[in-house]
Chains A and B, each alone.
Chain A
């Protein structure tokens, strides 16, 4: 399956919700510690196993996360390490990009999520311990959610409830928020170590999965969050990103600092149903296509982007 080589270290990969063959990749120079970044928009060719670069945008700082707009097929949002959130339009030449640079976070922006149901707003999670809510029609953020005691690494909208989202933070807790409420509606002290990612189950709006530095993935039911529904062990190092399958209820994909991408079925006994060790460095970005069932993409610090069909070897050409 196709492989794409990026000049910088990969940080995030996302499939377009409009085109089944398009994906965006955020990269950062020098492992994201210092240096420039680049946002790639890639196209899979339908016939040959190859990836072509549609367009690329250079940034002055590393790109830690990307999110496609759900309302415009060519717009995407990038989380930049200088604390800004930048909007890009792939239909415009690089000179007229970024469309907008939203500079409000005091530190690195580490996570983005575009509202999939209302499709007019997105969230940004930053190392300045806050989450901000933005809409495309306003030049400033609508709200700031400031309760976490440490960096917020990831945010995820609930797929059914347009006003509910979750945030995963380095203060070892996950908070559930409602944009209509002044404060968080739920606090899940999920792990003993930092929580790096969270995601909602797409078919059960009460299930949320968290990935932590303690190498484990936990699935929680928000109606009873005292104990996790299940704990998935198997990664050798911190789990960096986690994603529920858009097509199958029980399927989770995760990537970790142990350089593997893992597939889990959290309802069965042997939850680990697949392990891909194609990356030669930390695997930090993973996504599953909404439009094509079983199509997965991953990127990592080995400067490669892999796109493959579930069950196949990502390295097979």
Chain B
């Protein structure tokens, strides 16, 4: 193998098909270009900008798209701080929450806070972002009952734990809460707490009640189903409760076989008429019946 290692400089040994030198006439391909592959590709101009780069392609995320070429930035990729600041309470604020403008919109409270729906100054202050309204008043369950009073107090401060949003462009930071304000806040916390407890208990009771009633209903229906099924199975087996009465009306107490069985009720009505056919049935059963 040592003799072969000299080939490493020039490449692998010639292929058998290269030695044969056969020619198959015209081909649809352009004649090969001289030079190395990278030279050929670059000379042809097909190498895309951003693809012959020394940096790792993993980092150039922006240009990686299905088109294979850089495209202008999408509108939702632009972070427009101006509009999020100015767009307080406007629809613009809301829209920016979908794109990557999350950073900007959180300043205005569009993404986390409920200020947009409240409208007005107090709304924004009362529910400053995530900590204010979002945590307690956000859930649909508690919103109606407890979110309201809080707004009603018109507290100039922030939510229970919330700090004043430092980026809030509206006015100066509010003054530190006084004694009554803090007392009210404590009271609100207590009320909130018991409210949540009571709702939990209420919901649990309701759930249990519904569960039990559903269970009872299920048993009820199961009984009905069982009866229906039993009746069906019996019918499949050819055992009938009502027609049996008819058959018992037949001669000699024998069940009526054959097509007459289907006309059960008619037979019932015409029961007495069936009696004369009893003689014919005697023939069917042969002399046995006669002898008996």
Contacts and interface: CB of A to CB of B under 8 A. Distances in A.
Nearest to A205: B27
A206 B17 contact: no
A70 B28 contact: no
A203 interface: yes
A71 interface: yes
Interface in B131-147: none
A205 B20 CA distance: 13
Interface of B is mostly: loop
Interface stretch (A111-119, A187-195, A276-284): A111-119
Contacts, number: 147
A161 B32 contact: yes
Given A120-B36, A135-B37, A135-B38, A144 B12 contact: no
Given A143-B46, A179-B46, A205-B24, A137 B12 contact: no
Contact of B16 (A117, A161, A204, A247): A247
Interface in B77-127: none
B16 A202 contact: yes
Interface string A178-190: 1111100110000
A63 B46 CA distance: 30
B12 A158 contact: no
B53 A206 contact: no
A115 B57 CA distance: 23
B15 A116 contact: yes
Nearest to A22: B1
Nearest to B38: A135
B52 to A, nearest CB: 6
Interface residues of A, number: 55
A171 B4 CA distance: 42
A195 B1 CA distance: 38
Contact of A142 (B11, B29, B41): B41
Given A158-B29, A180-B44, A142 B17 contact: no
A191 B118 CA distance: 62
27 contacts: A18-B13, A19-B1, A104-B57, A118-B37, A119-B12, A120-B36, A120-B38, A135-B38, A140-B56, A144-B68, A146-B66, A159-B15, A161-B27, A161-B29, A162-B37, A163-B37, A178-B30, A180-B41, A180-B43, A180-B46, A185-B28, A203-B20, A204-B24, A206-B27, A223-B28, A247-B16, A291-B13
Interface of B: 1, 4-5, 7-8, 11-13, 15-17, 20, 22, 24, 26-33, 36-38, 40-44, 46-48, 51-58, 66, 68
Interface of A: 17-19, 68, 70-74, 103-104, 115-121, 133, 135, 137-144, 146, 158-164, 178-182, 185-186, 202-206, 222-223, 246-247, 290-291, 293
